Structure 1
Amino acid sequence: MNVSLKRIQAILIKDYKEFSRNYAISVMILFPLLFALIYRSDGGEQAAMYAFVINFSLAMLTSFVQACLIAEEKERSTLRSLMMTPASMLDVLIGKSSLVFIISAVVLAGSTYLFGYETSNGFMLVAALGISILLYTAIGTICGLYSKSLIEASLSVFPVLIIFTMGPFALVFEDDYPFLAVLNYLPSSQLSELLTSMELGASGAELYMPLVIISIWAVVVTIISFVLYKKRLMDY
């Protein structure tokens, strides 16, 4: 399957114009920055609070914007037209994801700065955030593909926001409700665990295992988004 950089760039520019015109979607970039300022802390729980801000941002910005951009295309029947063009599946999905990836990376960097989070292991932090952005973009793609309108897309992201953002906090009840142990394997919980381990100066498997689990999530969900896109293409 060929990948055309020109087609990807064209889709990226098109999405940027639509994003900049739709204030209901573009305003979402402000929420992670505001949360970073509100929850900024110099106390001992800095890693936990930073993880909350990042997990919230990934769901509320990355998944939400991606779902809305795709749903908007479907609502205006332009996604169907895009599927019928010579652009390959990879061209479309990479092009549709590029803008959200760039915006998420810039906003998360700004949130990290405003929050005041510092770490000696910048590589692990960048890797974890980059892989997480890919994961939540894929989740947003799935939500958008199965939404018929912007309103449906907005509502479809809320379960993602609740489960992935609040999942790590539900683990405090794990002793009373052992079934909650499954929440340990959520990517948001693993990101929180990674940040906490970095704060404690851990190394080796304690750092790499959370990153591996997040990567597995990203690969599996991305594959699912590709399969579902192809299925939608067949439906047309």
Structure 2
Amino acid sequence: MACFTFFKFMMVLFNLLILLGGLTLLGVGIWVSVDKGLFPQLLSLFTLDMQFVKVGFFCIAIGGVLVLLGVLGCCGAHKGSKCLLLLFFSIILIIFIAEVAAGTVALAYSSFAEGILKAWATFVLKNQYGSDPVVTKIWNSTMTELNCCGFTNYTDFTDSYYSEQSEGSYPPSCCQLDTAPCSQQQAWHSAVQGCFEQLLEALQKHANIVGGIAVGIGGLEVAAMLVSMYLYCYLDNNVS
């Protein structure tokens, strides 16, 4: 009985955290969807100009799922409902399988995903950099912080809107020399790395942290499934 009480307490506590996380995401999602300020505009940049993903709606959807999970887990543990516990276990299991499948696909088709990302970034740099202030500010900050130029290299700005408007020059980040403007020849001699390569190097440096977070999330999901199934089996045996 003491073991059952402990697992019940842990189940309620764990799902309260899930519920709080879901409510936070819901709040952020609603704010991003309603507010037209600078920060939502920065987030909306990652809709890839194809309307595949709306950040606000995405946060609302994920937050709603987390709130549902939190309510199911808390009510199932507190009321001793086998139906709610089984439903909670099923949803967590589906999410876990989806995450494993997504990770496997990402590893198997990483080069394909890189091609899509490159096509999008190249389009944005050639057509929106220099004309869209939000896009320009984000890329300038990224290139300055990472000491990089474009997505692949300086050629991303060749025949671009920015280049045409600046008489064939390139962004200052593409040249290591302090002289302005940054010409194509100077950019070629500088050979500044593209931001994608810099991001990959940064990810590789922090691979242990990223992997640890992924393992931690997976561990929490497995723990939640084990606890919910233990409570379900305990209640099933007592009812029987």
The two structures have a TM-score, normalised by structure 2, of 0.30
The two structures have a TM-score, normalised by structure 1, of 0.30
Radius of gyration: which is bigger? 2
